[in-house]
Chain A
Amino acid sequence: MSGLKNLQNTNICYPEQETWFICWDDTRENIMAYGSIIPTQCMETPWTQVDYYDDEAEWAAILLENGIDPSPEMDEAIKAIIEE
Protein backbone atom coordinates (compact mmCIF):
# COMPACT_ATOMS: atom_id res chain seq x y z
CA MET A 1 0.00 0.00 0.00
CA SER A 2 2.86 2.41 0.57
CA GLY A 3 3.17 2.98 -3.18
CA LEU A 4 -0.29 4.45 -3.32
CA LYS A 5 0.87 7.50 -1.40
CA ASN A 6 2.81 8.54 -4.43
CA LEU A 7 -0.10 8.30 -6.79
CA GLN A 8 -2.25 11.25 -7.70
CA ASN A 9 -5.88 10.50 -7.12
CA THR A 10 -8.34 10.56 -9.96
CA ASN A 11 -11.43 12.52 -9.06
CA ILE A 12 -14.28 13.32 -11.41
CA CYS A 13 -17.60 14.89 -10.56
CA TYR A 14 -20.93 15.69 -12.17
CA PRO A 15 -20.54 14.15 -15.62
CA GLU A 16 -23.02 15.51 -18.12
CA GLN A 17 -24.40 12.04 -18.63
CA GLU A 18 -23.89 8.62 -17.10
CA THR A 19 -20.30 7.66 -17.69
CA TRP A 20 -18.83 4.22 -17.22
CA PHE A 21 -15.30 3.75 -15.95
CA ILE A 22 -12.64 1.11 -15.49
CA CYS A 23 -9.71 1.61 -13.12
CA TRP A 24 -6.55 -0.33 -13.91
CA ASP A 25 -3.41 -0.88 -11.93
CA ASP A 26 -0.22 0.69 -13.23
CA THR A 27 0.54 -2.33 -15.42
CA ARG A 28 -2.90 -2.06 -17.04
CA GLU A 29 -3.14 -5.81 -16.66
CA ASN A 30 -5.48 -5.88 -13.67
CA ILE A 31 -8.82 -4.16 -13.27
CA MET A 32 -9.02 -2.66 -9.80
CA ALA A 33 -12.50 -1.11 -9.93
CA TYR A 34 -15.32 -0.44 -12.34
CA GLY A 35 -18.69 1.21 -12.31
CA SER A 36 -20.53 4.26 -13.51
CA ILE A 37 -20.99 7.85 -12.45
CA ILE A 38 -24.19 9.82 -12.89
CA PRO A 39 -24.53 13.62 -12.94
CA THR A 40 -25.19 13.83 -9.19
CA GLN A 41 -22.14 11.82 -8.21
CA CYS A 42 -18.40 12.07 -7.76
CA MET A 43 -15.95 9.25 -8.11
CA GLU A 44 -12.56 9.24 -6.49
CA THR A 45 -9.92 6.57 -6.82
CA PRO A 46 -6.21 6.27 -6.14
CA TRP A 47 -5.73 4.54 -9.50
CA THR A 48 -4.42 6.82 -12.24
CA GLN A 49 -5.10 4.50 -15.15
CA VAL A 50 -8.81 5.14 -15.60
CA ASP A 51 -10.72 4.66 -18.83
CA TYR A 52 -14.11 6.30 -19.40
CA TYR A 53 -16.89 5.19 -21.71
CA ASP A 54 -20.06 6.85 -22.95
CA ASP A 55 -21.21 3.52 -24.28
CA GLU A 56 -22.13 0.93 -21.64
CA ALA A 57 -21.84 -1.91 -24.15
CA GLU A 58 -18.29 -0.96 -25.00
CA TRP A 59 -17.44 -0.78 -21.29
CA ALA A 60 -19.06 -4.16 -20.65
CA ALA A 61 -17.15 -5.72 -23.54
CA ILE A 62 -13.83 -4.64 -22.06
CA LEU A 63 -14.82 -6.07 -18.69
CA LEU A 64 -15.88 -9.35 -20.25
CA GLU A 65 -12.61 -9.57 -22.15
CA ASN A 66 -10.94 -9.39 -18.77
CA GLY A 67 -13.07 -12.03 -17.11
CA ILE A 68 -15.52 -9.75 -15.33
CA ASP A 69 -19.24 -10.11 -15.96
CA PRO A 70 -20.79 -6.71 -15.31
CA SER A 71 -24.35 -7.85 -15.96
CA PRO A 72 -26.80 -6.49 -13.41
CA GLU A 73 -27.74 -9.74 -11.77
CA MET A 74 -24.69 -11.96 -11.76
CA ASP A 75 -26.86 -14.62 -10.18
CA GLU A 76 -25.09 -17.45 -11.91
CA ALA A 77 -21.69 -16.23 -10.78
CA ILE A 78 -22.84 -15.99 -7.19
CA LYS A 79 -24.66 -19.30 -7.35
CA ALA A 80 -21.55 -21.00 -8.70
CA ILE A 81 -19.56 -19.77 -5.72
CA ILE A 82 -22.20 -20.88 -3.25
CA GLU A 83 -22.48 -24.32 -4.80
CA GLU A 84 -18.73 -24.90 -4.94
Chain B
Amino acid sequence: MGIGIPMVQLGLGGGGAVIDDRFIISVKTDNAGTSANNQFTLPTTGGGYNYDIETSDGQTITGNTGNATITFPSAGEYQLKISGSFPRCYFNSGGDRLKLLSIDNFGIYALGSTNQFDAFQDCSNLVITASDVADFSTVTEFTGFVRNCPSLTSFPLIDTSNGTRFAQTWRNCSLLTSFPALDFSSVSGNNFEFFRAWQDCSSLTDFPANMFDAVNTPNFTSAFQNTNLTTQSIDNILVSLDTSGTINGVISQSGGQAPSATGLSAKDNLVAKGWTVTYTA
Protein backbone atom coordinates (compact mmCIF):
# COMPACT_ATOMS: atom_id res chain seq x y z
CA MET B 1 0.00 0.00 0.00
CA GLY B 2 2.83 2.36 0.79
CA ILE B 3 2.84 5.27 3.15
CA GLY B 4 0.72 8.11 1.87
CA ILE B 5 0.88 11.75 2.80
CA PRO B 6 0.06 11.63 6.46
CA MET B 7 0.38 15.25 7.44
CA VAL B 8 -2.23 17.83 6.61
CA GLN B 9 -1.32 21.47 6.94
CA LEU B 10 -4.22 23.70 7.81
CA GLY B 11 -4.48 27.45 7.78
CA LEU B 12 -2.95 30.12 5.63
CA GLY B 13 0.67 30.97 5.17
CA GLY B 14 1.89 27.78 6.74
CA GLY B 15 1.15 28.99 10.22
CA GLY B 16 -1.89 26.82 10.92
CA ALA B 17 -2.24 23.80 13.11
CA VAL B 18 -0.79 20.54 11.89
CA ILE B 19 -3.09 17.53 11.95
CA ASP B 20 -1.60 14.08 11.69
CA ASP B 21 -4.03 11.49 10.38
CA ARG B 22 -1.96 8.54 11.56
CA PHE B 23 -2.79 6.40 14.56
CA ILE B 24 0.23 6.93 16.79
CA ILE B 25 1.14 4.89 19.84
CA SER B 26 4.16 4.57 22.09
CA VAL B 27 5.36 1.23 23.40
CA LYS B 28 8.00 -0.12 25.77
CA THR B 29 9.18 -3.41 24.37
CA ASP B 30 10.71 -4.84 27.52
CA ASN B 31 7.56 -4.64 29.58
CA ALA B 32 5.97 -8.03 30.08
CA GLY B 33 4.20 -9.49 27.08
CA THR B 34 4.01 -12.35 24.64
CA SER B 35 6.59 -11.06 22.20
CA ALA B 36 10.34 -10.86 22.85
CA ASN B 37 11.72 -7.98 24.88
CA ASN B 38 12.77 -6.13 21.73
CA GLN B 39 9.45 -6.69 19.98
CA PHE B 40 5.90 -5.43 20.03
CA THR B 41 2.86 -7.12 18.54
CA LEU B 42 0.04 -4.91 17.36
CA PRO B 43 -3.11 -6.99 17.93
CA THR B 44 -6.04 -7.07 15.53
CA THR B 45 -9.27 -9.00 15.16
CA GLY B 46 -11.54 -9.68 12.24
CA GLY B 47 -11.17 -7.96 8.89
CA GLY B 48 -10.92 -4.48 7.48
CA TYR B 49 -7.20 -3.99 8.06
CA ASN B 50 -4.73 -2.74 5.49
CA TYR B 51 -2.16 -0.64 7.18
CA ASP B 52 1.41 0.52 7.15
CA ILE B 53 3.66 1.17 10.13
CA GLU B 54 6.48 3.66 10.49
CA THR B 55 8.56 3.27 13.61
CA SER B 56 10.61 5.85 15.45
CA ASP B 57 13.78 3.87 14.70
CA GLY B 58 13.18 4.25 10.97
CA GLN B 59 11.47 1.03 9.95
CA THR B 60 8.58 0.92 7.50
CA ILE B 61 6.36 -2.16 7.39
CA THR B 62 3.70 -2.04 4.70
CA GLY B 63 0.62 -3.97 3.69
CA ASN B 64 -0.35 -5.44 7.06
CA THR B 65 -3.77 -7.08 7.15
CA GLY B 66 -3.64 -8.71 10.60
CA ASN B 67 -1.40 -8.74 13.65
CA ALA B 68 2.00 -7.19 13.10
CA THR B 69 5.07 -7.98 15.19
CA ILE B 70 7.79 -5.36 14.95
CA THR B 71 11.34 -6.24 15.94
CA PHE B 72 13.52 -3.39 17.16
CA PRO B 73 17.31 -3.41 17.38
CA SER B 74 17.16 -3.33 21.16
CA ALA B 75 14.72 -3.20 24.01
CA GLY B 76 13.33 0.24 24.75
CA GLU B 77 10.63 2.77 24.05
CA TYR B 78 9.48 3.37 20.51
CA GLN B 79 6.71 5.17 18.68
CA LEU B 80 4.60 3.53 15.98
CA LYS B 81 2.79 5.61 13.36
CA ILE B 82 0.06 3.67 11.62
CA SER B 83 -1.62 4.74 8.40
CA GLY B 84 -4.21 3.15 6.14
CA SER B 85 -7.14 1.18 7.56
CA PHE B 86 -6.92 0.12 11.18
CA PRO B 87 -10.38 -0.27 12.68
CA ARG B 88 -9.56 -1.68 16.10
CA CYS B 89 -6.86 -2.82 18.47
CA TYR B 90 -7.71 -6.01 20.28
CA PHE B 91 -5.56 -6.52 23.34
CA ASN B 92 -8.49 -8.22 25.09
CA SER B 93 -6.58 -8.65 28.31
CA GLY B 94 -3.64 -10.42 26.70
CA GLY B 95 -0.75 -10.14 24.31
CA ASP B 96 1.49 -7.12 24.70
CA ARG B 97 -1.06 -5.07 26.61
CA LEU B 98 1.51 -4.00 29.21
CA LYS B 99 3.88 -2.74 26.52
CA LEU B 100 1.41 -0.11 25.33
CA LEU B 101 2.30 3.16 27.03
CA SER B 102 0.21 5.76 25.25
CA ILE B 103 -2.10 6.67 22.43
CA ASP B 104 -0.51 9.83 21.08
CA ASN B 105 -2.86 10.43 18.16
CA PHE B 106 -6.06 8.66 17.12
CA GLY B 107 -5.91 9.69 13.46
CA ILE B 108 -7.32 6.88 11.33
CA TYR B 109 -8.05 4.61 14.29
CA ALA B 110 -11.61 3.21 14.30
CA LEU B 111 -12.63 4.83 11.02
CA GLY B 112 -15.53 2.74 9.73
CA SER B 113 -15.45 0.45 12.77
CA THR B 114 -18.64 -0.62 14.50
CA ASN B 115 -17.14 -2.65 17.34
CA GLN B 116 -14.56 -1.67 19.96
CA PHE B 117 -15.28 -4.56 22.34
CA ASP B 118 -12.41 -4.98 24.83
CA ALA B 119 -10.09 -3.09 22.46
CA PHE B 120 -7.70 -1.86 25.15
CA GLN B 121 -8.86 -4.03 28.05
CA ASP B 122 -6.23 -4.42 30.77
CA CYS B 123 -3.74 -2.08 29.13
CA SER B 124 -2.60 -1.19 32.62
CA ASN B 125 0.08 1.30 31.58
CA LEU B 126 -1.99 3.11 28.97
CA VAL B 127 -2.47 6.85 29.00
CA ILE B 128 -4.11 8.88 26.27
CA THR B 129 -2.15 11.94 25.27
CA ALA B 130 -3.90 12.35 21.91
CA SER B 131 -5.46 15.74 21.41
CA ASP B 132 -6.99 15.14 17.99
CA VAL B 133 -10.73 14.66 17.59
CA ALA B 134 -11.08 10.92 17.22
CA ASP B 135 -13.73 9.68 14.80
CA PHE B 136 -15.71 6.90 16.44
CA SER B 137 -18.89 7.98 14.72
CA THR B 138 -19.65 4.54 13.25
CA VAL B 139 -19.00 2.59 16.45
CA THR B 140 -21.99 1.04 18.18
CA GLU B 141 -20.27 -1.35 20.61
CA PHE B 142 -18.01 0.20 23.25
CA THR B 143 -18.20 -2.61 25.81
CA GLY B 144 -14.90 -2.99 27.67
CA PHE B 145 -13.17 -0.41 25.48
CA VAL B 146 -10.70 0.82 28.14
CA ARG B 147 -11.76 -1.45 30.97
CA ASN B 148 -9.08 -1.99 33.61
CA CYS B 149 -6.83 0.78 32.39
CA PRO B 150 -5.86 2.15 35.80
CA SER B 151 -3.22 4.55 34.48
CA LEU B 152 -5.71 6.58 32.47
CA THR B 153 -6.06 10.00 34.01
CA SER B 154 -8.42 11.37 31.41
CA PHE B 155 -10.70 10.18 28.65
CA PRO B 156 -11.14 12.22 25.48
CA LEU B 157 -14.32 13.71 24.10
CA ILE B 158 -14.88 11.24 21.27
CA ASP B 159 -17.91 10.89 19.00
CA THR B 160 -20.11 8.26 20.64
CA SER B 161 -23.33 9.38 19.02
CA ASN B 162 -24.01 5.94 17.55
CA GLY B 163 -22.87 3.99 20.59
CA THR B 164 -25.52 1.60 21.86
CA ARG B 165 -23.68 -0.27 24.64
CA PHE B 166 -21.07 0.83 27.17
CA ALA B 167 -20.97 -2.15 29.52
CA GLN B 168 -17.83 -2.05 31.68
CA THR B 169 -16.35 0.47 29.27
CA TRP B 170 -14.46 2.52 31.88
CA ARG B 171 -14.59 -0.01 34.71
CA ASN B 172 -11.61 0.20 37.05
CA CYS B 173 -10.11 3.26 35.40
CA SER B 174 -9.17 4.18 38.93
CA LEU B 175 -7.29 7.39 38.16
CA LEU B 176 -10.06 9.04 36.14
CA THR B 177 -11.23 12.08 38.06
CA SER B 178 -13.65 13.61 35.61
CA PHE B 179 -15.60 12.53 32.59
CA PRO B 180 -16.33 14.26 29.27
CA ALA B 181 -19.82 15.06 28.04
CA LEU B 182 -20.12 12.11 25.69
CA ASP B 183 -23.19 11.58 23.52
CA PHE B 184 -25.24 8.61 24.73
CA SER B 185 -28.33 9.45 22.72
CA SER B 186 -28.36 6.16 20.79
CA VAL B 187 -28.46 3.95 23.85
CA SER B 188 -31.67 1.95 24.26
CA GLY B 189 -32.75 -1.57 25.18
CA ASN B 190 -32.00 -3.80 28.15
CA ASN B 191 -28.87 -5.80 27.41
CA PHE B 192 -26.14 -4.61 29.79
CA GLU B 193 -26.11 -1.10 28.26
CA PHE B 194 -24.39 0.64 31.19
CA PHE B 195 -23.70 -2.48 33.26
CA ARG B 196 -20.77 -1.67 35.59
CA ALA B 197 -19.77 1.10 33.19
CA TRP B 198 -17.90 3.25 35.74
CA GLN B 199 -17.58 0.71 38.56
CA ASP B 200 -14.33 1.01 40.53
CA CYS B 201 -13.47 4.37 38.99
CA SER B 202 -12.56 5.15 42.56
CA SER B 203 -11.20 8.63 41.84
CA LEU B 204 -14.10 9.72 39.65
CA THR B 205 -15.57 12.82 41.25
CA ASP B 206 -16.98 14.93 38.43
CA PHE B 207 -19.72 13.69 36.12
CA PRO B 208 -21.53 16.08 33.77
CA ALA B 209 -25.21 16.95 33.76
CA ASN B 210 -27.70 15.80 31.14
CA MET B 211 -25.68 12.74 30.13
CA PHE B 212 -28.64 10.36 30.14
CA ASP B 213 -31.44 12.71 29.13
CA ALA B 214 -31.92 10.91 25.81
CA VAL B 215 -31.14 7.31 26.78
CA ASN B 216 -33.79 4.64 27.00
CA THR B 217 -32.28 1.84 29.02
CA PRO B 218 -32.98 0.67 32.56
CA ASN B 219 -29.68 -1.11 32.99
CA PHE B 220 -27.31 0.84 35.21
CA THR B 221 -26.59 -2.16 37.44
CA SER B 222 -23.50 -1.36 39.54
CA ALA B 223 -22.74 1.46 37.11
CA PHE B 224 -21.38 3.81 39.77
CA GLN B 225 -20.33 1.34 42.46
CA ASN B 226 -17.11 2.36 44.22
CA THR B 227 -16.78 5.80 42.70
CA ASN B 228 -16.05 9.09 44.45
CA LEU B 229 -18.81 11.24 43.00
CA THR B 230 -19.51 14.68 44.40
CA THR B 231 -23.00 15.63 45.46
CA GLN B 232 -23.34 17.68 42.27
CA SER B 233 -22.31 14.70 40.17
CA ILE B 234 -24.72 12.18 41.70
CA ASP B 235 -27.41 14.85 41.48
CA ASN B 236 -26.57 15.25 37.78
CA ILE B 237 -26.94 11.50 37.25
CA LEU B 238 -30.23 11.07 39.10
CA VAL B 239 -31.79 14.18 37.57
CA SER B 240 -30.75 13.11 34.08
CA LEU B 241 -32.16 9.60 34.54
CA ASP B 242 -35.40 11.15 35.76
CA THR B 243 -35.44 13.37 32.70
CA SER B 244 -34.99 10.37 30.42
CA GLY B 245 -38.39 9.01 31.39
CA THR B 246 -37.12 5.44 31.44
CA ILE B 247 -39.09 3.07 33.70
CA ASN B 248 -38.25 0.04 35.84
CA GLY B 249 -34.53 0.65 35.97
CA VAL B 250 -31.77 -0.26 38.36
CA ILE B 251 -28.93 2.04 39.37
CA SER B 252 -26.38 1.82 42.13
CA GLN B 253 -23.83 4.24 43.50
CA SER B 254 -21.42 3.69 46.35
CA GLY B 255 -18.54 5.80 47.56
CA GLY B 256 -18.36 9.54 47.29
CA GLN B 257 -20.98 11.93 48.56
CA ALA B 258 -24.70 11.65 49.09
CA PRO B 259 -27.16 13.38 46.79
CA SER B 260 -28.65 16.72 47.80
CA ALA B 261 -32.36 17.46 48.08
CA THR B 262 -32.34 17.92 44.31
CA GLY B 263 -30.91 14.45 43.76
CA LEU B 264 -33.18 12.89 46.33
CA SER B 265 -36.20 14.44 44.65
CA ALA B 266 -35.09 12.90 41.36
CA LYS B 267 -34.55 9.60 43.18
CA ASP B 268 -38.11 9.74 44.47
CA ASN B 269 -39.36 10.32 40.94
CA LEU B 270 -37.33 7.38 39.69
CA VAL B 271 -38.68 5.04 42.37
CA ALA B 272 -42.19 6.16 41.44
CA LYS B 273 -41.34 5.09 37.90
CA GLY B 274 -40.29 1.64 39.01
CA TRP B 275 -36.57 2.17 39.56
CA THR B 276 -34.57 0.49 42.27
CA VAL B 277 -31.99 2.99 43.45
CA THR B 278 -29.03 2.22 45.72
CA TYR B 279 -27.08 5.30 46.72
CA THR B 280 -24.61 6.79 49.15
CA ALA B 281 -26.45 8.23 52.11
Determine chain A's interface SS by DSSP, over half rule.
mixed
- Residues of chain A contacted by B195 (CB below 8 angstroms): 74, 78
Interface size on A, residues (CB 8 A): 29
Contact with B along A32-48 (1 / 0, CB 8 A): 11111110111111110
Q: Are B271 and A44 in contact (CB under 8 A)?
A: yes
Q: How far apart are the CA atoms of A28 and B271 in the complex, in Å?
A: 19
Q: How far apart are the CA atoms of A81 and B272 in the complex, in Å?
A: 31
Cβ-closest chain A residue relative to B255: A40
Given A78-B195, A81-B191, A82-B143, decide whether A42 and B278 contact each other with a Cβ distance below 8 A: yes
Given A38-B254, A44-B271, A82-B141, decide whether A32 and B276 contact each other with a Cβ distance below 8 A: yes
Q: Is A9 an interface residue (CB 8 A)?
A: yes
Q: How far apart are the CA atoms of A35 and B274 in the complex, in Å?
A: 16
Given A78-B195, A82-B143, decide whether A40 and B274 contact each other with a Cβ distance below 8 A: no
Cβ-closest chain A residue relative to B192: A78
- Of the listed stretches B68-76, B83-91, B244-252, name the one at the interface; the rest are far from the partner chain: B244-252
Q: Are B273 and A33 in contact (CB under 8 A)?
A: no
* Given A38-B254, A45-B275, 18 further pairs, Cβ under 8 A: A1-B273, A4-B273, A9-B271, A32-B248, A32-B274, A33-B250, A35-B276, A37-B278, A42-B278, A42-B279, A43-B276, A44-B267, A44-B277, A46-B271, A46-B274, A46-B275, A75-B144, A78-B168
Closest 8 CB pairs of A and B: A33-B276, A45-B276, A42-B281, A43-B278, A33-B250, A44-B271, A81-B191, A78-B192
14 A-B pairs within 8 Å (CB atoms) are namely A1-B273, A4-B274, A33-B276, A35-B222, A35-B252, A35-B276, A40-B254, A42-B279, A44-B277, A46-B271, A46-B276, A78-B195, A81-B192, A82-B141
